[in-house]
Structure 1
């Protein structure tokens, strides 16, 4: 268990279409995940694939402690998460996880440096220390000369580089990415995937949701979901 980053046992997720979020005779619910059992070793690079509605984004949200499963056991870095309250889950999420999304989610009125600094504001670390680390991360992703630029002055690829730097600010063990190349052209996507490999080589665990076969081929392991279940789980060996 010490070498396991993510452990899922018989995870289900059902969505109920009522205010109480409970089953009724008229609304039994929509079962999106149907018993997912999965272990992700520390340092593995995984791609999650599946058609729309297969459950891949729902699974990523559960892994990211952005949603709770309906049933099953989820351990993050060996810690069982179901007994944690919302504040405890938030603390664990901020400590263990970094997020990269398709839509970047940058604050439009903040500079690149300010956007990267944001996840550390509740860490208790001195603001100067956070800014210095954010500046180093922006330099690492090739944006040393764009730190004072707001998102509107950055290309899509540059915005995603800011998002990657932001994901790394709190030094998480695990990076979760939801279609990180979905809004980028093919050349820029290649550059972003090179950054993911650079991050992976530092020992981070990476889980990417993608519909792009080229992106999936970059991963060590490809897990395909179909109708809420794992339909295929293939280890490819070290990608590069």
Structure 2
């Protein structure tokens, strides 16, 4: 009991860091991933090729390796050391972790959104074009809303992976949940108990995230649900139809 009273307040400090790493990384990664998905679907071979190779590189290498390359490797490049902005980014563990997480999730997000955009019926796009909609207006009102509905379940899984991926930030001195758990472990030597509590915190975060994704999915699919309920509703009882 004393161990729980000692560990929980300390690990809750790391909870806020974990939440901040996740939120910032997802915001950057989603927008970058959307841009990459559009580049991948572009008729321009240069843009399409860049997005394809970007996705292959970041999805084909471990996140831990990417974090180490950004934090330890880029600091050895003189061009980056001489640039104030770039050095400001990689000189701090938290900012470097956000950079690695954002670029990594952008690669997965681009593939998820690309699949969603490809699932949009061509007839709807052509109908919007026939109504005089501009390309941006068609994307905003037709393509993106339909694509996000299709991509949401897969993207929810990606968000969970980002939350779990933040634990790797502890390897570059970031004190998030796992970082504080390692510190407590070295102080108390209660390995199982400390990491069990840390695991419960990650589980709570992901369960809340799953519940939020499901609520959002129901909200986006509410029209189809209402349509199915209307079709399956029994006919009102009354007088027989006159033939």
Q: TM-score, normalised by structure 1?
A: 0.24
Q: Which of these two proteins has the greater Rg computed from alpha carbons?
A: 2
Q: Which has the higher strand share?
A: 1
Task: State TM-score, norm by structure 2.
Answer: 0.23
Q: Name the one with the larger helix percent.
A: 2
